Structure 1
Amino acid sequence: MSDLPSLPVTFRPSRTRAVLLGAAAAIFVVVSAVALLLDRLGPGERLSFVFTAALFAGGLLMLARPKVVADDSGVTVVNFASTRRLEWAEIVQVNLRVGDPWVFLDLTDGTSLPAIGIQPGIAKEQAIAHAGALRALVEARSGDPRT
């Protein structure tokens, strides 16, 4: 069990996140600059450009939000618009099958929870390593009498 990551550990799609954060910043700056540089625009039109840029950037920031945080007491899954806290004992299995867009956690209540913070999109090897580390943590912690 020496290959287990030390807790707390955060799993997130770092390359995807970097692209999304960069795109959000670039869109906001470029559209806002265009609004300020166009002489023909009135104050209301300039404001609408900046507001629209902020909406697009906000949407990209929401897409960059997912992560999975494992600590001593359990796992917190942060998806696009929701956050769910799980105790270690609630997680039955960690799945990342070929073709899956992200990891799925099988839970003791019979449901499956998507953990979008571990996704093989741009960095397949990183996602496989993160899924394996989370799987090992779940296996090591599920038998822990403290949980």
Structure 2
Amino acid sequence: MSTPELPVTFRPTRTRIVLLSTGGALLAVLTALSLMLESFTTADRVTFIGTGLLGLAVLALLSRPKVVATEDGVTVTNLTTTRRLAWAQIVRVNLRAGDPWVYLDLSDGTSLPAMGIQTGIAKQQAIADARALRVLAETHGTGRSAA
């Protein structure tokens, strides 16, 4: 496999589309219902719209993960955290059968989930992205790969 051109962003695009579309539809339906039901008070309407906004916010949070590879290293953005790694810190890139997403074995002996490459809806894309990140880690760092 050839080395991908940097910078490159790995992100579960189909999953993002589904999550954000669902969130938008949820907000639209709850807003429309709150405005159409004449028996609703202002507080009821605010509650319905607030619930739609909360649902959209949660689904937007779930669509946040990504992995950005640059010449300097990798930035892993998961649900609520972002971690910057130098290439030398990545020992191995793992996506084993049954794993929900890629795991990065790090030089300090820990493992970091990289939720930006996940098998959910687009398994073949996740496998291709994991291979590309593995090639990058082998090219730019001291890592070695594992299936």
- TM bucket (normalised to shorter chain) is over 0.9
Unaligned runs of 5+ in 1: none
TM-score for the superposition, normalised by structure 1: 0.94
SS at match of 2:117: coil
The share of aligned pairs that are identical, in percent, is 57
Q: How many residues align?
A: 142
Matches within 5 A, 1:1-147: 3-143=2-142
Give the distance between the partners of 1:44 and 1:120, measured in 2 at CA.
41
* Shift in Å, 1:45: 1.1
Give the 4+ runs in structure 1 shifted more than 4 A: none
TM-score for the superposition, normalised by structure 2: 0.94
* Shift in Å, 1:92: 0.3
Q: RMSD across aligned C-alpha pairs, in angstroms?
A: 0.9
1:35-79 Cα offsets, whole Å, 9 max, x none, are: 111111111110111111101111111110001000111100010
Unaligned runs of 5+ in 2: 143-147
Letter aligned with residue 71 of structure 1: T
Give the distance between the partners of 1:54 and 1:108, measured in 2 at CA.
41
* Shift in Å, 1:105: 0.1
1:120-147 Cα offsets, whole Å, 9 max, x none, are: 111111000000000000000015xxxx
Give the distance between the partners of 2:46 and 2:141, measured in 1 at CA.
53
